[in-house]
Structure 1
């Protein structure tokens, strides 16, 4: 960084009685000043100081929590606070107070912003000694002071300081969606659990997994997801559904690190069986994908309606189209817009073939005119969005740790300049909006005056079971919260994991 022309940092204080507004104001300034093209331009955002707060209190507040931080991160600011004039605006020549290389510019800016945010929250909050979570007295909303801006993910030292801080999965008062209208118990029956266990062994017998992957697969408990999402299915049909769910998770894992060309190869192996499973049934071979596909699909075809089967196969084609696009995005390090992501996520989630199996589990075969009705399509998309967005909330922590970007929370952070908590709240609001769309559309479905009304009601109830069941399962599986799922379910607070890779 050139030192001949010191860079100034503008700080303006505003009179605002609501500390939460001040926090949002700080973020807006931060987003406006943040350089988008170069790290050589240093811009730091100072705190919003309300007129009734004595300046010496600010100095003390900053000194206590950060005694071990670099002196340039605290004293550089506290020593100049008393120079704030009547306009409460000050320009500080940072380059005269410290010497920064371009590679350190982002780090210093992150330190300053973190101190400013912490101060605002300390001034208007109570610090809980055990969790270090900060509780706003105004409204009681837990807002965690995390500097997790996508533009600053290269600040590894700052990320380490944030690691272990807690954030809320759902906005306080939302009920985490777990109390959405529910016709089932949040726990599967004993017989369903036994069937799920048998289904897991079915996959392990054919998938040829390492001991580490076998342990991870057992901790997944995808068979339990089937039991929760298809609670009214008879055991014979539930077993087929559970086998498919186990298979789908492995298919998703297999495709996660593939190139688009490799995804096409995998697609060919799967779709070949779906169009004609007979050559692969009960055949020994070296292709576990074909064997597993033929095993569950041959049983599905033998007892499902032809229209249901056709819809299932079509949605699997859509699934591979979306997975291929996701592989392209991963290779190009491309992050789609939120709207593009939503359309893609509806297929990569795997919900659409699972919704086709709702018909199978209920023993119905909806005619094309009913299944493709605009109301049915809208409700499917809404249910898909609830499952997908909730999954993005629950999986965000582990995905940000390993550098994944195919997640609505991360996309919202980048697109709208939000921090973790605000992005989680935003995606949670999208879930609630999707539920409202589902219920509103449900009330608009016209009656046919035939038996199809009962079949459609059963299908809609199945979509509802899927939304509720997937929410409960997210705290049972170890995929997102390890062995602490039930604990997280009670408090809905999660500690930020350390990053293993750059996003």
Structure 2
């Protein structure tokens, strides 16, 4: 979904943080991003049968930018696979936003049937379940993208799990803060800001500020965990270093992308990133 920001006259404004200045990591980008993104978009639009409005929203998504800044050190071939995945990922996310309970369950059944019985379902119907841990599914693709195979003892190690949790919290909480305006307008409650308002009795701005402090602390947790990494030998340690770098790229890349996409701030992402103020969207009428 691409949000439309209404005219600013007589509107309540909320202040948002520019978390990109708080993340202590440089933004990097895969050199194949533009070429791969164009090819992936052309392929996806060729099979997705979108309306003109949906196609415009898809272009505004700018998924290729997210892909390029989160899968930095892979070849164009691997980048293309994850770009295609992310297009389906976001498409499913938008579908479930519009479905009621029955529709969501039907989609989930379709997804799981496609995964359990891949040879009896069209490849075009294979989509992926999205949860607040959705970033972890994307982390799993990093091994494919980087052409590494972490041993089970590494994957299941407490420090690796803690690194993934810190990165996932960072990505999820950045997203909750920056997408809050859009989500509150459609009545969504699965958002950190809303939870803090309800559980702690905070007003909207105080909840956003509190969520911001929680999000900022994720990089401290991440660095603490990085300092605790054991050694598994030179070869494995090299793979672990690549994987941890990829988690770091996800933390910073996803945050910058929140201002590059049109999902949260329409076409004014750059302006919002500079002013850090956004007009509160009116709530949608219940259909």
> TM over 0.5: same fold?
yes
Find the residue that maps to 2:142 and give its secondary structure: helix
Q: Is the 8 A contact 1:409 1:427 kept in 2?
A: yes
What's the counterpart of residue 182 of structure 1? 25
| Mapped partners of 2:65, 2:138: distance in 1 | 14
What's the counterpart of residue 202 of structure 1? 43
Residue 403 of structure 1: CA displacement?
A: 1.8
Residue 192 of structure 1: CA displacement?
A: 1.0
Q: Does 1:222 align with 2:69?
A: no
- Inter-CA distance 183–274: structure 2 relative to 1 (3 Å threshold): farther
Q: Is the 8 A contact 1:359 1:459 kept in 2?
A: yes
- Inter-CA distance 257–482: structure 2 relative to 1 (3 Å threshold): closer
Q: Does 1:420 align with 2:204?
A: yes
What's the counterpart of residue 293 of structure 1? 126
- Inter-CA distance 432–267: structure 2 relative to 1 (3 Å threshold): same
Find the residue that maps to 1:451 and give its secondary structure: helix
Q: How does 1:156-305 map to 2 (within 5 A)?
A: 164-170=11-17, 176-185=19-28, 189=31, 191-275=32-116, 277-280=118-121, 290-291=123-124, 293=126
What's the counterpart of residue 219 of structure 2? 435
| Mapped partners of 1:292, 1:231: distance in 2 | 28
Between structures 1 and 2, the one with greater helix share: 2
Residue 293 of structure 1: CA displacement?
A: 2.6
What's the counterpart of residue 353 of structure 1? 137
CA deviation string 1:113-156 (max 9, x = no partner): xxxxxxxxxxxxxxxxxxxxxxxxxxxxxxxxxxxxxxxxxxxx
| Mapped partners of 2:59, 2:160: distance in 1 | 35
Task: Please identify the structure whose Cα radius of gyration is greater.
Answer: 1
What's the counterpart of residue 378 of structure 1? 162
Q: Which moved more, 1:234-243 or 1:408-417?
A: 408-417
Residue 292 of structure 1: CA displacement?
A: 5.1
Q: Does 1:408 align with 2:251?
A: no
Q: Is the 8 A contact 2:26 2:252 kept in 1?
A: no
Residue 501 of structure 1: CA displacement?
A: 4.0
Residue 269 of structure 1: CA displacement?
A: 2.6
- Inter-CA distance 275–500: structure 2 relative to 1 (3 Å threshold): closer
C-alpha RMSD of matched pairs (Å): 2.3
Q: TM-score, normalised by structure 2?
A: 0.89
Residue 177 of structure 1: CA displacement?
A: 3.8
CA deviation string 1:143-191 (max 9, x = no partner): xxxxxxxxxxxxxxxxxxx962332212xxxx62435233444x664x4
Find the residue that maps to 1:500 and give its secondary structure: coil
Q: Is the 8 A contact 1:206 1:292 kept in 2?
A: no
Q: Is the 8 A contact 1:397 1:496 kept in 2?
A: yes
Find the residue that maps to 2:231 and give its secondary structure: coil
| Mapped partners of 2:64, 2:153: distance in 1 | 32
Q: Say which structure, 1 or 2, has more relative contact order (CA 8 Å, 6+ apart).
A: 2
- Report the count of equivalent residues: 279
Q: Flag structure 1 segments of 5+ consecutive residues without an equivalent.
A: 1-161, 284-289, 295-315, 323-344
Find the residue that maps to 1:256 and give its secondary structure: helix
CA deviation string 1:203-252 (max 9, x = no partner): 22222221111111111111221111112121000000000000000111
Residue 498 of structure 1: CA displacement?
A: 2.0
Find the residue that maps to 2:284 and give its secondary structure: coil
Which of 478, 489, 494 lines up with 2:273 in the alignment?
489
- Inter-CA distance 444–356: structure 2 relative to 1 (3 Å threshold): same
Q: How does 1:7-406 map to 2 (within 5 A)?
A: 164-170=11-17, 176-185=19-28, 189=31, 191-275=32-116, 277-280=118-121, 290-291=123-124, 293=126, 319=129, 345=132, 347=133, 350-406=134-190
Q: TM-score, normalised by structure 1?
A: 0.52
What's the counterpart of residue 4 of structure 2? none
Residue 359 of structure 1: CA displacement?
A: 1.1
Find the residue that maps to 2:14 and give its secondary structure: strand
| Mapped partners of 1:183, 1:234: distance in 2 | 20
| Mapped partners of 1:252, 1:365: distance in 2 | 29
| Mapped partners of 1:183, 1:452: distance in 2 | 25
Q: Is the 8 A contact 1:390 1:431 kept in 2?
A: yes
